[in-house]
Structure 1
Amino acid sequence: MHLFSGFQARDWLLANDPALSRLRMALRVTLTIVFSFLVLLAIHMLILSLPTAAFGLGIVLSIEGGVAVRDKGNSRQLVTRLFGCVASLAVVGIAAGLEDRRFLSDLVFLVVIALASAGRVFGPRGFAIGMFAFTSYFMGAYFRPPLAELPEVAIGPVVAVLVGHLVRAVLLPDDWRRDLLRSLESVRGRINQILFKLAAIAGGAEIGEADRQELRQLEDRLKEVVLMAETFIPRPPAGVFDGAADPAAELAIRLFDAHLAAESAIVLSFQSPPPFALVHAVIEADTAEVARFEGMADAIRDQPQGETLRALLWLGEARQQLTQAIGEGQASGFSEIDAIKDTAQSQAIDFSFANPLLRSALQITIASAIAMSFGLLLSRERWFWAVLASFLVFTNTNSRGDTAMRALSRSLGTVFGIAIGLVLATLISGEPDIAIPVAAVCIFLAFYFLQVSYATMTFFISIVLCLVYGMTGVLTLDLLKLRIGETMIGAAAGTAVAFIVFPTRTRGALDSALARWFQALRDLLGALSEGKSGFELMALSQKIDACYRDVTVAARPLGSSWSVVTRPGQIRQTLAIFLSCTYWARILAKNYQAPAADTLKGLIAADLALIDDAAPRGSSCFLIKRKASRTTGRHLPLSREGARLGLEMIGSALERLYPQADVLPFATGEAIARSKQG
């Protein structure tokens, strides 16, 4: 029973944390902080007395080393860490040297912010070194160590860098074979979630809207982990496999089929809910029961229920193939798959303001200057918090809407985190044996949820700060109010600059994402006309999938609750159209046969014409109010006509982006008529 529960817990964890990447990052950060603190404490107690700044820098750079260092390979990571350590020591020295000239020190801080932000144009290493420099100047200006203490202060960054590398390279190393196996297990876990949901709704006359929404969410989560798993499968430099004999190619096909089969099961279940007995048989891999339903599916193959049966049978087979691949991976560690060396060519660096990274650097610098000015009016000693907030709200954002959402998340996380942290710090005041473990747990949870919710991360970090203030005896209500005020100043400054200086409208970012999606679909249709091979078509359809994910990210601020541009319902309706088109593109890539190209040229040309018509309109399709779509005819194509139906359904989906008056040419019959005319 305990063993079964353990497997259940692991399956749940993998289903919610693909490849355990979030767990590993949270553990890396937490262990690096703990070990660095213990090493510094041992040095402090046994060798020489260390200033507070050494501990502060050690802890902060432990965080940056776990989050900001993103190079591939241990040697590259070590070089980045060492460069970051040098940058850290340099800026701390500058901050200490300018301590008596506070106005000049503040101006230099802005220069450091500008250089750190602009360093992102150099790629992952530039980003990491910039973060090391920014946070180190922040800590240097905050703790104000005397020049005479710099040798002792330098021990903090050095220990953090060395401990961080040991944790990353030895204790919790990167391993693409392990990550591939875990991501495949996560794919299976999310397929199981879909099957469990189908079992819950099986046998009903129809599926309710709430169930449809949940299945769509499960479909999105499956897509997310499939895209992750695909990145772990080594591919040739051109990105296209030469043949199915390649073990990596065989694995890619199994993953592709499992993804497509799961989506087909969802699509067909919307039309006709599946029988519970079949879903149960697929879950339990009951071959006798599955064989009985195979005969039933053949007898009613042209009926909606028959389509659903075939979709579930396909999913059952694809799931078994995926399970077999997982078993082989567990036994051999994918030793038969050769790793592909990183052959990426370095690209020319664009130092013009046409580069969005440089525009962002200017935004960050101006926002930091504004935050610094208003923060100083509120407090001469604690204004750094405002600058920190204004700097961080621009991280991983691509539009002013994204920045506003991140600023709001940081403000809310800080307010609620301080409220809870104040209660905790008061309850365990004077109990460091309790406060320290609680702080460690909160640090772990903060970075475990970093990739999921920025507000949650800020919430737990705020609790940690309250506990630290409580243990050091400086916790007061006025201090916490000041923390909230400075954070809101920084968040407001970042949001204002995002809307005024080089503003990137949410719709502008969405237009760019849509342009990439349309181009990817155009490339796939063009490859069909040229008679490309199956693997090339599969790779192109996967590119459409990745572009769809970018579209959903770019559209998120447009449909958020604070937006007055449109209702979230319209956003979901439009995204559903792009999702449908993406799905049918994969159906098309799977079933297309080059010899049939001549008979399908009319359909390909018609779909390309629809792309040429829709692509220039960009994100305006998200502002159209649509009627509820009518039920379509058969969804799942037979193998002999899968390519034709895929092209028809892609055309139907594209037509739905801009419906003419009250007519929604969505039904399959209308699409077929259109194709015959073409």
Structure 2
Amino acid sequence: MHLFSGFQFRDWLLANDPALSRLRMASRVTLTIVLSFAILFAIQMLIVPLPTAAFGLGIVLSIEGGVAVRDKGNSRQLVTRLFGCAASLAVVGIAAGLEDRRFLSDLVFLVVIALASAGRVFGPRGFAIGMFAFTSYFMGSYFRPSLAELPDVAIGPVVSVFVGHLVRAVLLPDDWRRDLLRSLESVRGRINQILFKLATLAGSGHIGEADRQELRQLEDRLKEVVLMAETFIPRPPAGVFDGASDPAAELAIRLFDAHLAAESAIVVSFQSLPPFALVHAVIEADKAELAIYEGMAEAIKDEPQGETVRALLWLGEARQQLTQVIGEGQASGFAGIDAVKDTVQPEKIDFSFANPLLRSALQITLASALAMGFGLLLSRERWFWAVLASFLVFTNTNSRGDTAMKALSRSLGTVFGIAIGLVLATLISGEPYIAIPVAAVCIFLAFYFLQVSYAMMTFFISIVLCLVYGMTGVLTLDLLQLRIGETMIGAVAGTAVAFLVFPARTRGALDAALARWFQALDELLSAIGEGKSGFALIALSQKIDACYRDVTVAARPLGSSWSVVTRPGQIRQTLAIFLSCTYWARILAKSYAARADADELKRLIASDLALMKDAAPRGSTCFFIERKASRTTGRHLPLSREGARLGLEMIGSALERLYPSADVLPFAPGEAIARSKQG
């Protein structure tokens, strides 16, 4: 049987698009735009002529309805859409009423921007309504409908809101059971990717630094989808399962085991590559071949190859159990797992500038004012593009580094998108039956890539705009150059304000993420010291996992090419240390039980806590420490009863590596690993 016979297109798609969330978002946005446009066009042809603003608002609010509305539940989403529609109609009316007073209209636009940005403190609904209001005022100022046209203009937002709800609630609805199944399939797909890479390495018999880096990236990708899958598993209000008899608890354990087994296979493969035949047997679930290696594992248990064989056998078993869970889910739709009602209580809102959302609102308003001023100098008619760019570069960013990266992405996406769009629009000029489908495909691709690449999203949207300009007969090189110039102004304004006004330093965001990570690790170690075990420890280890993801996101700008402190080697090295520590924390959570040698474990816990006490206050300084490349050291895979002790020792060893020049350490460098090899 061919090695990759089970690796089908759907497996590949799920491995690269967990739960098909990107596909669903892109499909929703595209379908909403197409249906809204079709309905508005039918109204235009059969009932009443519509102003251009009605079409513009219908399309833009179709996008916002698919992207910005994030409430849980159809009823909540409908309420948010209706509030958003009301806000849209109100601000468009204001824009139309102030059309003859351009200076006042521009000032009111800044007020709308400030209120829309500040509305994010009210959570998902406030964010969505703010986006509806901002984009609607933008479109109202851009198309300049008259007061007499407002009743007809209102048809656009109303149609888009109800079509958007129809698409979201009926045609492409949310279904946590379906999403859980798809996310589990994505986990299996990413485990397959790890196995295929190990098979390639096993076939060559060599593993280099580039291969190690690729395996770490695959490990991170697996972690992402595991964290997603965990969010779909209903949990009790306290967040911890009462016992393994609960179907949801059993599923959570199997997911946890599959994740841990895959990571363990990577860890030991760095020391000793597995036999190719074994990896092939795991991929194909060849029971006869696996039985041979089970007997072999006992004979070579004290050799590095024995650890690798045991790790692959464990991964094969965990993968089979995961496949069984997926099969049960496909057959029953997880009917045995009950949904848990949302009991989260709203938090008290902080309306001071201590709230980063309000600081961000001030930044967005100032950046928009700067973009407006300089944009007006470039063009009295097209300055809105500058404001749009300055507003959007702050969306979903945590630091000034994030903002700068997003500004750069938007600028590059616009430049290259316009270049390609100009060529396409020229080639299919006068062919709307070709241009419209191409535009629809580009819209789909824009929102398919939105979650992974802001530059790609901007690239495809710029192509769509070129096609629209071409179909409406206003496409000129000067217009496209003007759009690039205005976008650059907005991007620069946003970046400048991010660095000068209430700057959220990249290291500051990283310090906060690291503080949460250390706190989560402290909670796990303290829980073990208090004698807790089972699901309580697993839940705490999953919290460490989530915090590690936040650390990687916060550290990303430090390794970007624009940064003056770019040290990608050191950043990757330090992240690898935190990844290692996170892995051993999960090993510890899985392996710990009440032990006869509790005093020894308490000593190790105290040692780890001492290391944390030394490292945590230093925050992100560890990312700028020069470290010598560590030599490859043998290690035991914790599949035996010593897993808890080894987990504690390896956590200590990883923490040592953060600051290897420390004067006093509970363990000498490398001692933990050495002790782990002793009987």
Which TM-score applies when normalising by structure 1? 0.97
> What percent of counterpart residues are identical?
88
Q: Structure 1 residues 281-290 or 111-120, which shifts more?
A: 281-290
Change (3 A) 1:672 1:530: farther
Matches of 1:79 and 1:631 in 2, distance apart? 58
Contact 1:469 1:475 in 2 (8 A): yes
Contact 1:425 1:467 in 2 (8 A): yes
Contact 1:584 1:646 in 2 (8 A): yes
Matches of 1:668 and 1:297 in 2, distance apart? 27
Contact 1:254 1:321 in 2 (8 A): yes
Change (3 A) 1:480 1:613: same
Change (3 A) 1:236 1:59: same
Contact 2:265 2:312 in 1 (8 A): yes
* Corresponding residue for residue 534 of structure 1: 534
Measure how far apart 1:305 and its partner are. Answer: 0.4
Matches of 1:376 and 1:244 in 2, distance apart? 64
- What residue identity is the alignment partner of 2:629? A
Change (3 A) 1:307 1:473: same
Q: Structure 1 residues 207-216 or 339-348, which shifts more?
A: 207-216
SS of 1:556's partner is helix
SS of 2:244's partner is coil
Contact 1:566 1:623 in 2 (8 A): no
* Corresponding residue for residue 389 of structure 1: 389
* Corresponding residue for residue 606 of structure 1: 607
1:179-212 CA distances to partner (integer Å, 9 max, x unpaired)?
0000000000110111111111115554111211
Measure how far apart 1:630 and its partner are. Answer: 1.6
SS of 1:404's partner is helix
Measure how far apart 1:632 and its partner are. Answer: 2.1
Matches of 1:459 and 1:634 in 2, distance apart? 47
- What residue identity is the alignment partner of 1:536? A
1:592-643 CA distances to partner (integer Å, 9 max, x unpaired)?
0134533310000000010010000000000011111122222411421100
Matches of 2:315 and 2:207 in 1, distance apart? 19
Once the two structures are superposed, the pairs formed by residues 410-489 of structure 1 within 5 Å of their partners are: 410-489=410-489
SS of 1:465's partner is helix
Matches of 1:7 and 1:24 in 2, distance apart? 22
Matches of 1:419 and 1:377 in 2, distance apart? 24
Change (3 A) 1:320 1:667: farther
Contact 2:646 2:676 in 1 (8 A): no
- What residue identity is the alignment partner of 2:141? A
Once the two structures are superposed, the pairs formed by residues 51-200 of structure 1 within 5 Å of their partners are: 51-200=51-200
Once the two structures are superposed, the pairs formed by residues 327-342 of structure 1 within 5 Å of their partners are: 327-342=327-342
Unaligned segments of structure 1, at least 5 residues: none
- What residue identity is the alignment partner of 1:381? E
* Corresponding residue for residue 581 of structure 1: 581
* Corresponding residue for residue 624 of structure 2: 623
Contact 1:653 1:666 in 2 (8 A): no
Change (3 A) 1:462 1:27: same
Contact 2:85 2:161 in 1 (8 A): yes
Contact 1:203 1:274 in 2 (8 A): no
Measure how far apart 1:74 and its partner are. Answer: 0.3
* Corresponding residue for residue 323 of structure 2: 323
Once the two structures are superposed, the pairs formed by residues 259-278 of structure 1 within 5 Å of their partners are: 259-278=259-278
* Corresponding residue for residue 288 of structure 2: 288
Measure how far apart 1:5 and its partner are. Answer: 9.1
* Corresponding residue for residue 253 of structure 2: 253
1:515-550 CA distances to partner (integer Å, 9 max, x unpaired)?
000000000000000111310100000000000000
2:16 is the counterpart of 1:25:
no
Contact 2:71 2:124 in 1 (8 A): yes
* Corresponding residue for residue 516 of structure 2: 516
Matches of 1:675 and 1:316 in 2, distance apart? 25
Alignment length (residue pairs): 674
Once the two structures are superposed, the pairs formed by residues 214-233 of structure 1 within 5 Å of their partners are: 214-233=214-233
Change (3 A) 1:91 1:666: farther
- What residue identity is the alignment partner of 2:232? F
* Corresponding residue for residue 37 of structure 1: 37
Matches of 1:206 and 1:288 in 2, distance apart? 27
* Corresponding residue for residue 646 of structure 2: 645
Which TM-score applies when normalising by structure 2? 0.97
Unaligned segments of structure 2, at least 5 residues: none
* Corresponding residue for residue 660 of structure 1: 661
Contact 1:114 1:362 in 2 (8 A): yes
2:631 is the counterpart of 1:636:
no
Contact 1:267 1:635 in 2 (8 A): no
- What residue identity is the alignment partner of 2:480? L
Contact 2:407 2:495 in 1 (8 A): yes
Matches of 1:311 and 1:7 in 2, distance apart? 22
* Corresponding residue for residue 380 of structure 2: 380
* Corresponding residue for residue 369 of structure 1: 369
- What residue identity is the alignment partner of 2:262? A
Contact 1:363 1:501 in 2 (8 A): yes
1:117-174 CA distances to partner (integer Å, 9 max, x unpaired)?
0000000000000000000000001111000110000000000000000000000000
Change (3 A) 1:297 1:147: same
SS of 2:310's partner is helix
Measure how far apart 1:291 and its partner are. Answer: 0.8
* Corresponding residue for residue 559 of structure 2: 559
Change (3 A) 1:638 1:430: closer
Contact 1:630 1:666 in 2 (8 A): no
Measure how far apart 1:675 and its partner are. Answer: 13
SS of 2:154's partner is helix
Measure how far apart 1:7 and its partner are. Answer: 7.1
Q: Structure 1 residues 590-599 or 394-403, which shifts more?
A: 590-599
* Corresponding residue for residue 302 of structure 1: 302
Measure how far apart 1:414 and its partner are. Answer: 0.1
Matches of 1:410 and 1:635 in 2, distance apart? 47
Contact 1:417 1:460 in 2 (8 A): yes
SS of 1:234's partner is coil
Contact 2:636 2:677 in 1 (8 A): no
- What residue identity is the alignment partner of 1:259? H
Matches of 1:408 and 1:291 in 2, distance apart? 54
Contact 1:634 1:668 in 2 (8 A): no
Once the two structures are superposed, the pairs formed by residues 586-601 of structure 1 within 5 Å of their partners are: 586-596=586-596, 597-601=598-602
Contact 2:650 2:672 in 1 (8 A): no
Matches of 1:668 and 1:636 in 2, distance apart? 16
- What residue identity is the alignment partner of 2:390? S
Cα RMSD for the two superposed structures: 1.7
1:240-289 CA distances to partner (integer Å, 9 max, x unpaired)?
00000000000000000000000000010000000001001111111111
Contact 1:264 1:311 in 2 (8 A): yes
Matches of 1:564 and 1:91 in 2, distance apart? 42
Matches of 1:16 and 1:663 in 2, distance apart? 45
SS of 1:562's partner is coil
2:569 is the counterpart of 1:572:
no
SS of 2:150's partner is helix
SS of 1:594's partner is coil
Contact 1:629 1:666 in 2 (8 A): no
Matches of 1:407 and 1:635 in 2, distance apart? 47
Q: Structure 1 residues 588-597 or 367-376, which shifts more?
A: 588-597
